[in-house]
Amino acid sequence: MKIFNDLKNDFPRLENNILLKNYSTFKIGGPAKYFLRTSDKKELKKIIERAKQENIKFLVIGAGSNILFSDNGFDGLVIVYKADNLLRENLNIEKRENKDNVIIKVDASIPFSFLISELKNLSGLEWGIGIPGTLGGAINGNAGAFNESISDCIESVNVIDVSSGDIIEKKMNSRDCLFGYRSSIFKGNSDLLIVSVELKLFKDKEEDIKKRILDNVSKRMVKQPKGFSIGSIFKNYYGSIEEKIIINYPHLKSFNEKKIIPAGLLIELCNLKGKQIGDSKISDEHANFIINLKNSTSSDVIDLINLVKKTVKENFLIELEEEIKIF
């Protein structure tokens, strides 16, 4: 307890043995040894500096909407970097305009959908309405929908780099971020922590933007399963399936030609919709979602993930890759 008490003297809001399931949209996860919520970049830097001095491993998360926590919890410090109870007037958006677009600078701790709803006459992110999590989390995994992704709008990203003994804040341009399909240099890299972002947006009529947002909300409501989940478990498969297999699945032919095959469709074709292990269930509505019915464990989810990967490989000779992060 000495380390905890010493830390608490400098960080009064520090807590211990906090259940991570309460900070995940999956509602799964054991206790974090140390726990701090903050939306203050200075406090984030200070607590990381202390954690490094004390040799405490740390994990920075946003809204926990793409993370499966272990039932055993996290034997270190979990920092929730997320702004709560926001109003438009304290969004603190810095803005500059040029001939072709508008660049805005915003804090990465802002909930992504809240930001989108408050952009008024600035277009470019309407596709992201309804995506849970923070702006930083969306950039970490290069979130996307409806054939668009956050990387399309990134001008630059300000990060805290903790890879050396010092904690350095630096600016990275879009190319430095190494964006790919649901990936970036930040994903799985705890040495680079996103703190603020410059987004490249475009002016448009506010009523047209609102219409696109409402249309996307409607589409998402139809596709999105209800219940505790962390979104799509697997990335869509980029590539093609052998022709000898496609013969048995003629409706896969068009996807095969485009070399983009939805993971949910592959899982559905393996007759795994509705498959349940413990209280974890592959959604009946969308096969790329796993639902926590009530008391699911991380072990249940991992067993289901492994079953899906094994079955898809047996049927289609391809490896599905997880989109979620597992801790």
Contact between 174 and 151 under an 8 Å Cβ cutoff? The reply is yes
Tell me if residue 220 is catalytic: no
Candidates 156, 232, 283, 298; catalytic one:
232
Burial 302-317 (b: 16+ CB within 10 A, else e): eebbeebbebbeebbe
Tell me if residue 175 is catalytic: no
Tell me if residue 65 is catalytic: no
Candidates 39, 126, 182, 183; catalytic one:
182
Q: How far apart are alpha carbons 59 and 76 in whole angstroms? A: 8
Candidates 151, 229, 296, 323; catalytic one:
323
Instruction: Reduce the secondary structure of the chain to three states and give it as a string.
Output: CHHHHHHHHHCCCCEEEEEHHHHCCCCCCCEEEEEEEECCHHHHHHHHHHHHHCCCCEEEECCCCCEECCCCCEEEEEEEECCCCCCHHHCCCEEEECCCCEEEEEECCCEHHHHHHCCCCEECCHHHCCCCCEHHHHHHCCCEECCEEHHHHEEEEEEEECCCCCCEEEEEECHHHCCECCECCCCCCCCEEEEEEEEEEEECCHHHHHHHHHHHHHHHHHHCCCCECCCCCECCEECCCCHHHHCCCHHHHHHHHHCEECHHHHHHHCCCCCCEECCEEECCCCCCCEEECCCCCHHHHHHHHHHHHHHHHHHHCCCCCECCEEC
| Active-site amino acid positions | 182, 232, 323
